[in-house]
């Protein structure tokens, strides 16, 4: 029986704690749970919690990590550079995530997200449920139970959940004269409730109202109540920019509630094509069509069957047990298992020291770094490196000659990088492979550029860190990225900075830059229609754009230049 150590969830009873509970339940009696020091396998329901385990223990155990969000999203987080080297096997929770891991050349298994089939199920008496929660019995009720406000600033819309996109859909729906009522529940609903009040859109909030402070520990609802709310609704709306799940897609499908979602995560695996929308206009049209003539009625049964076939706890248990039965045959496991393992007492001491260090010691930044960039080869890279230089100054990190610097920051190399120090290199589209340093952590302008690196055979850790570049172009003129163009990332950032909508090929990874601020097309035949749609909705798309944060480079440097 394999000895397994599980890392922690989120400690809030939210999605990650539920993932940990499901994993433990699925593998009960199949594995023996032990401390990290004695583990054959270290299993992380949330990959970032691997930082709680001493690096030496990660090197000797077989490391499995779940990605609660798609890997393209994690490419934008500095810590993912370490994740790319520490994890022996990734668990993808959707086909979208599996495909992205595959494109990034990372080892992956697909084990779909699941919900407990005993907690979410249809309740026939919708009228009784509406009376219980004070909902209008005859209204068309559109539900959403996602957090919509950032925890650090409850007046700011949560980027991932894109409540601005939901408001854009509802405003179009209201302006068309269609009658509806919005149902909100859960914590951190501050931003959306305020916006609906401003727009005069009727809604009901189920929870403790009037809490201006963070209500995360107060308004989390139990799953019995959530099940009732799904069953009281006509439609569940998912406007997110990215998702690993969301769990609500499975929960609503299990309750036989209609769904409308952006095409991402598990939602793309479960939903019918008519239930997937890419623009506010499309979303409003679909809801209006369902209110008037029930165009989504036919989606309920097939979506329920897809959930039942692949996304129940029973299925997840079977998949995890099959995975563990195969681990012993994997070359990576055998290499670690047959390697020289440290004594248990030493592993325990290392873990205790690691935990103490995390609690008591605040790591500092390198005081000095070396600089290696030859200007004049690329205006784009020169602008990026100038931004990096300014960020170093703001952090109080000095640029010195090579000397004894512990890190070297590289753009277009002016010389052979120094030995025995950390290499971090910024790259741009079209940069010759001969200029890329094999030992460097690569920093690209976008996810598409990292995908290009993998396609070109560069397998070293890479992340996407966007820089606020200067604007280019006329706001009313959409930027059109042609099919097959994989070098447009910098042009896209400059267009978005100018307020231009972006029209791009659906098959690319440019969605990770554009999100709801553009229109995609699947073929050259569709391209003119996409341009027309982008032009017509330019003002709306401009309001949905997410530009690189001013402190993004500084945040990245704080991570990679830590002692």
Q: Where are the domains of the chain?
A: 3-113+314-360, 126-306, 368-468, 479-543
Find the helix or strand (DSSP H, E) in which 539 lies: helix 538-543
Residues 126-306, CATH architecture: 3-Layer(aba) Sandwich (3.40)
Is residue 267's pLDDT more than 70? yes
User: Rounded to an integer, what distance in angstroms lies between the CA atom of residue 476 and that of residue 350?
Assistant: 59
CA 130 to chain centre: 34
- Contact between residue 449 and residue 381 where contact means Cβ atoms under 8 Å apart: no
CA–CA gap between residue 508 and residue 502 (Å, rounded): 13
pLDDT band at 209 (very low <50, low <70, confident <90, very high): confident
Instruction: Name 244's Cβ contacts closer than 8 Å, sequence gap at least 6.
Output: 67, 68, 69, 70, 93, 94, 97, 113, 265, 266
Would you state the pLDDT for residue 332?
86
Question: Contact at 8 Å (CB) between 242 and 106?
Answer: no
Q: How many CB atoms lie within 10 A of CB 298?
A: 12
Under the banding of pLDDT at 50, 70 and 90, the label for residue 213 is very high
Of the CA atoms within 13 Å of residue 5, those in its CB half-sphere come to: 22
Contact 336, 56 (CB under 8 A): no
Whether residue 407 is predicted with pLDDT greater than 90 in this model: the reply is: yes
Same fold, 3-113+314-360 and 126-306: yes
- For the chain, what percent of residues have pLDDT higher than 90? 85
Extract the tokens encoding 286.
């679909």
Q: What is the pTM of this model?
A: 0.92
Residues belonging to the chain: 563
State the DSSP string of 84-127: HHH-SEEEESSHHHHHHHHHTT--EEE----B-TTT----S-HH
Band of pLDDT at residue 424, cut at 50, 70 and 90: very high
CATH superfamily ID and name for 3-113+314-360: Glycogen Phosphorylase B; (3.40.50.2000)
The predicted model gives 90-97 an average pLDDT of 96
Predicted local confidence at residue 10, as pLDDT: 67
Beta bridge partners of 4: 33, 41
Question: Distance between CA atoms of 225 and 235, rounded to whole angstroms?
Answer: 17
Provide Rg for the chain, Cα atoms.
Answer: 25
What is the longest distance spanned by two Cα atoms in the chain? Answer: 75
Host H or E run for residue 235: strand 235-238
Average pLDDT over residues 292-304: 98
Mean pLDDT of 145-158: 93
Decide if pLDDT at 174 tops 90.
Answer: yes
Please report where in the chains the tokens 């995908």 appear, as a residue: 451
For position 13, what pLDDT does the model report?
60
List the structure tokens of 478: 């959409």
Q: What is the pLDDT of residue 8?
A: 87
pLDDT of residue 152: 86
Distances from the Cα of 490 to the Cα of 141, 379, 387, 479, 495, angstroms:
42, 11, 14, 12, 9
Percent of the chain with pLDDT over 70: 99
Taking only the tens place, the pLDDT of each residue in 108-137 is 999 999 998 999 999 999 999 999 999 999
Half-sphere exposure of 328 (CA within 13 A, CB side): 7
- Kindly report, residue by residue over 10-28, the tens digit of the pLDDT: 666 667 788 899 999 999 9
The mean predicted confidence, pLDDT, of the chain is 94
Helix (H), strand (E) at residue 6: strand 3-6
């Amino acid at each position: 029986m394999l000895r397994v150590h599980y890392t922690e969830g989120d400690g809030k009873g939210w999605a990650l704690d539920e993932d940990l509970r499901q994993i433990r339940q699925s593998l009960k009696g199949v594995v023996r749970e032990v401390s990290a020091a004695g583990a054959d396998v270290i299993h992380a329901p949330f990959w970032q919690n691997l930082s709680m385990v001493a690096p030496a223990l990660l090197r000797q155990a077989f490391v499995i990590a779940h990605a609660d969000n798609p890997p393209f999203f994690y490419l934008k987080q500095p810590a993912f550079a370490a994740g790319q080297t520490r994890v022996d096997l990734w668990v993808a929770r959707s086909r979208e995530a599996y495909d992205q891991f595959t494109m990034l050349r990372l080892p992956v298994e697909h084990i779909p997200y699941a919900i407990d089939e005993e907690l979410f199920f249809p309740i026939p008496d919708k009228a009784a449920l509406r009376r219980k929660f004070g909902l209008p019995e005859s209204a068309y009720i559109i539900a959403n139970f996602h957090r919509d406000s950032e925890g650090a600033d409850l007046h700011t819309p949560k980027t991932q959940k894109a409540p601005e996109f939901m408001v854009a859909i509802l405003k179009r729906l209201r302006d068309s004269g269609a009658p509806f009522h919005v149902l909100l529940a859960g914590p951190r609903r501050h931003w959306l409730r305020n916006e609906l009040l401003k727009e005069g859109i009727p809604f009901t909030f189920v929870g403790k109202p009037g809490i201006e402070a963070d209500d995360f520990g107060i308004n989390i609802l139990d799953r019995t109540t959530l099940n009732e709310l799904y069953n009281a609704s006509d439609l569940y709306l998912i406007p997110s920019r990215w998702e690993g799940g969301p769990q609500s897609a499975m929960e609503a499908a299990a309750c036989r509630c209609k769904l409308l979602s952006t095409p991402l995560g598990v939602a793309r695996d479960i939903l019918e094509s008519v239930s997937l929308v890419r623009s506010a206009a499309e979303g409003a049209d679909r809801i209006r069509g369902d209110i008037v003539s029930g165009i989504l009625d036919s989606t309920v049964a097939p979506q329920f069957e897809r959930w039942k076939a692949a996304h129940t706890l029973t299925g997840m248990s079977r998949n995890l047990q099959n995975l563990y039965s195969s681990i012993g045959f994997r070359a990576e496991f055998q290499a670690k298992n047959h390697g020289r393992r440290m004594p248990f007492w030493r592993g325990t001491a290392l873990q205790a020291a690691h935990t103490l260090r995390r609690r008591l010691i605040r790591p500092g930044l390198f005081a000095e770094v070396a600089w290696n960039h030859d200007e004049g080869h690329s205006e784009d890279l020169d602008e990026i490196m100038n931004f990096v230089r300014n960020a170093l100054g703001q952090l109080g990190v000095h640029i010195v000659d090579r000397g004894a610097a512990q890190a070297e920051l590289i753009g277009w190399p002016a010389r052979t990088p120094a030995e025995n120090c950390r290499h971090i290199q910024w790259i741009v589209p079209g940069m010759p492979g001969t200029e890329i340093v094999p030992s460097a952590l690569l920093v690209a302008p976008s996810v598409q550029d990292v995908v290009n690196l993998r396609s070109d055979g560069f397998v070293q850790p890479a992340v996407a860190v966007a820089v606020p570049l200067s604007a280019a172009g006329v706001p009313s003129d959409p930027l059109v990225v042609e099919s097959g163009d994989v070098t447009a990332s910098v042009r896209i950032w400059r267009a978005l900075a100018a307020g231009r909508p972006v029209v791009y090929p659906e098959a690319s990874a440019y969605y990770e830059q554009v999100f709801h601020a553009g229109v995609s097309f699947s073929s050259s035949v569709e391209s003119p229609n996409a341009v027309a749609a982008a032009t017509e909705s330019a003002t709306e798309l401009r309001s949905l754009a997410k530009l690189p944060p001013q402190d993004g480079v500084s945040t990245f440097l704080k991570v990679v230049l830590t002692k």
